[in-house]
Amino acid sequence: MNLIFYSISDNMGSRNTKVSSEYPIDYGPAFLERVRNQHAGAEELPAYESWIIDHMGGRVETFRKDLLWQIRAFTSLENIDILDFGCGTGSTTVMLAEADSSNRVTAMDIDPESLEMAELRFRHHGISSQISLRRIQLIREAGDLDLPSGQFDFVLMNGVLEHVTPFPTRGAVLLEAWRVLRRGGLLFISETPNLLWPIDRHTTGLPFLSWLPSSAAHRYAVAFNRHTEKSDLDSRGRRGLTFRGIVRQLREAGYDVEVLNLTSAHNRLLPAGPPDGDSISLKRRFATFVLQDMLGRLLSPLGIPVVTFGPFIEYLCLKKR
């Protein structure tokens, strides 16, 4: 389970990124060197510089502005026990800790190098005392996670499930995240590619790649210079999940799941609406009309939220009853 993150809205990054002499947050040259080492071998890929910018504070700033706003459609994030499941280098953890100084945050990941970078990031932001960092081992089946059941009020899985390999172990990872939730707690899933979408918007930008077997997908991505020959394409997140697959896994295990996007957020693409001060483009208004106002009305009675219609499953909030 490689939980290295890429870019915010489209993880293949921007092909025309212009690199400034200053990054969004000044973590210092030593941190920058770690980021570049983490992406060594990918320098010739189109999205390389956008990945660097993301790790140098781009994601922290976006999460503060956008992701936190949408989470607060469901919970205040105040004085609660939080698990950042698959925290990577800690960008989402910064947002969760800053949301309220009384929050108790556990951040965990499988990659020791990412956790070291996360610790440096927390020190920079002055939030280390709020956060417990944990390295976990591969989760192969339910019960593998060394945490007691019912420990957390809120579990965040932001850009995580698509990186879990082998693919059949994803169900166990999801069930473990659910197990450690308290009754009444919330599991929030975002930035996970929608497997039904025909174009891989997460990793390569190539059509139909998500639907191919691993070996064929690897050759396809390398041929179009969207992946390097010696690295693992599956763990980069090229194959996502479906809303039905996520919810079915939990319900078949006997859990009572409430999809809050349907019951408390009025089935909107942005559960909390656009952040204050955001201007809404004509293109975005049209997409909202088609997906939310038209398709949403048709599919809501079937229990399908509009946040699962696009290239990514975004802002999906599930309550443990």
CATH fold label, 29-320? Rossmann fold (3.40.50)
Q: Is the pLDDT of residue 107 over 70?
A: yes
Put simply, whether the predicted model's pTM sits higher than 0.75 gets the answer: yes
pLDDT digits (tens, 9 = 90+) for 25-77: 999 999 999 999 999 999 988 889 999 999 999 999 999 999 999 999 999 99
- Give the CA count within 13 Å in the CB-facing half-sphere of 213: 2
Residue 5, pLDDT > 80, answer: no
CA distance 237 to 188: 18
Q: What is the pLDDT of residue 9?
A: 35
| pLDDT band of 281, cuts 50, 70, 90 | confident
